[in-house]
Structure 1
Amino acid sequence: MKKKLLSIASIGVLATIVLSSYQNGTHGTLGNQTNSTGSATGCFNCHGTQNNATTAAVILMDGTTPVTTYVPGQTYTVVLAGSNTGTGHPKFGFQLTCAKSGGVAAGTLSANGVTGVAARANNTLLEHTTPLAGTPNSGNIIYAAQFQWTAPAAGTGTVKFYTVINGVNGNGNNDAGDQWNFGTSANITEATTSIRNTEQIKGVQLFPNPSNGAVTVQIENTTPGKYSFQLMDMTGRVLQTEQAIFGSGTNQYKADASALSTGIYLMKVGNGTKETIMKFHKL
Structure 2
Amino acid sequence: MNFKFVHTLPILLLAAFILAFSNGPAGGDGGNGPRMQDRSGSPYAHSQGPNCAACHNNGSFNPGLTIELLEDGNAVAEYVPGQTYTLRYTVEANAGSPNKYGVQSVVLTTSDDANAGTFGDAPSGTRVAPIDDRSYFEHSTGSNDNTFEIEWTAPEEELGDITIYASGIAANGNGTNGGDNGTAATLTVAQTINVSSSSLPELLPIDVTIFPNPVKNVLNLELKSSIQGTYQMDILDIQGTVLASSQIALDFETNRISENVNHLSPGIYLVRITDGQKLVTGKMIKQ
When normalised by structure 2's length, the TM-score is 0.51
Report the Cα distance in structure 1 between the residues aligned to 2:215 and 2:69, rounded to whole angstroms: 13
Q: CA–CA distance in 2 between the matches of 1:181 and 1:46? A: 11
DSSP-derived class of the 2:55 partner = helix
Give the corresponding residue for 2:24.
26
1:178 equivalent in alignment to 2:180: yes
Map 1:142-161 → 2, pairs under 5 A: 143-161=146-164
Q: Distance in 2 between matches of 1:170 and 1:44?
A: 16
Please tell me whether the aligned partners of residues 19 and 93 of structure 1 are also in contact (alpha carbons under 8 angstroms): no
- Give the drift of 1:32: 1.3
Q: Is structure 2 residue 135 aligned with structure 1 residue 124?
A: yes
| Counterpart secondary structure, 1:106 | coil
User: What is the identity, as a one-letter code, of the residue corresponding to 1:167?
Assistant: A
2:111 matched to 1:106? no
Match of 2:71 in 1: 62
* Corresponding residue of 1:166: 169
Offset of 1:90 from its aligned partner? 1.6
Is the contact between residue 91 and residue 170 of structure 2 (CA under 8 Å) also seen in structure 1?
A: no
User: Which residue of the partner structure matches residue 280 of structure 1?
Assistant: none
Per-residue deviation at 1:123? 7.2
Unaligned runs of 5+ in 1: 1-16, 135-142, 195-231, 238-283
Contact kept in structure 2, 1:18 and 1:45, CA below 8 Å: no
Give the distance between the partners of 1:145 and 1:109, measured in 2 at CA. 13
TM-score normalised by length of structure 1: 0.51
User: C-alpha distance in 1, partners of 2:64/2:54?
Assistant: 19
Cα deviation, 1:115-150, whole Å, max 9, x if unaligned, reads: 11000116721011110013xxxxxxxx11221001
**Distance in 2 separating the partners of 1:107 and 1:49:** 35
Structure 2: gaps (5+ residues): 1-15, 30-36, 196-212, 217-287
Aligned residue for 2:85, secondary structure, equals strand
2:57 to 48, 67, 71: 48
Shift of 1:84: 1.0
In structure 2, do the counterparts of structure 1 residues 160 and 52 end up closer, same or farther at CA, with 3 Å as the change threshold?
farther
Residue 172 to residue 38, structure 1, CA distance change in 2 (3 Å): same
1:83 partnered with 2:92: yes
Identity, % of aligned positions: 22
Q: Is the 8 A contact 2:99 2:173 kept in 1?
A: yes
For residues 79 and 236 of structure 1, what CA distance do their matches in structure 2 show?
A: 27
CA distance in 2 between counterparts of 1:71 and 1:155 reads 9
Query: Computing the radius of gyration over CA atoms, which structure comes out larger, 1 or 2?
Result: 2
User: What are the superposed Cα offsets for residues 251-282 of structure 1, whole Å, 9 maximum, x if unpaired?
Assistant: xxxxxxxxxxxxxxxxxxxxxxxxxxxxxxxx
Shift of 1:236: 10
Q: Distance in 2 between matches of 1:19 and 1:116?
A: 19
Instruction: Tell me the amino acid that sits aligned with residue 168 of structure 2.
Output: I
Q: Secondary structure at the match of 1:119?
A: strand
Identify the residue that residue 36 of structure 1 maps to in structure 2. 42
Alpha-carbon distance change, 73 to 188 in structure 1, aligned in 2, over 3 angstroms: same
Greater RCO between the two (CA within 8 Å, min separation 6)? 1
Q: Report Cα offsets for 1:24-63 as digits up to 9, x if no partner.
A: 7437246111112164621255323798811001110111
Work out whether residues 44 and 50 of structure 1, in 8 Å CA contact, stay in contact via their aligned partners in 2. Answer: no
Q: Aligned partners of 1:236, 1:78: CA distance in 2, in Å? A: 26
Residue 186 (structure 2) pairs with residue 188 (structure 1): no
Structure 2 vs 1, CA of residues 80 and 63 (structure 1 numbering), >3 Å: closer, same or farther?
same
AA matched with 2:163: K
CA contact (8 A) 1:109 1:126 kept: yes
SS at match of 1:153: coil
Q: CA deviation at 1:85?
A: 2.8
For the aligned residue pairs, the C-alpha RMSD in angstroms reads: 3.4
Report the counterpart of residue 204 of structure 2 in structure 1.
none
Distance 1:96 1:161 in 2: 7
SS in 2 for 1:188: strand
Q: How many residues align?
A: 169
- Report the residue type matching 1:190 in the other structure: Q
CA shift, 1:87, in A, is 3.7
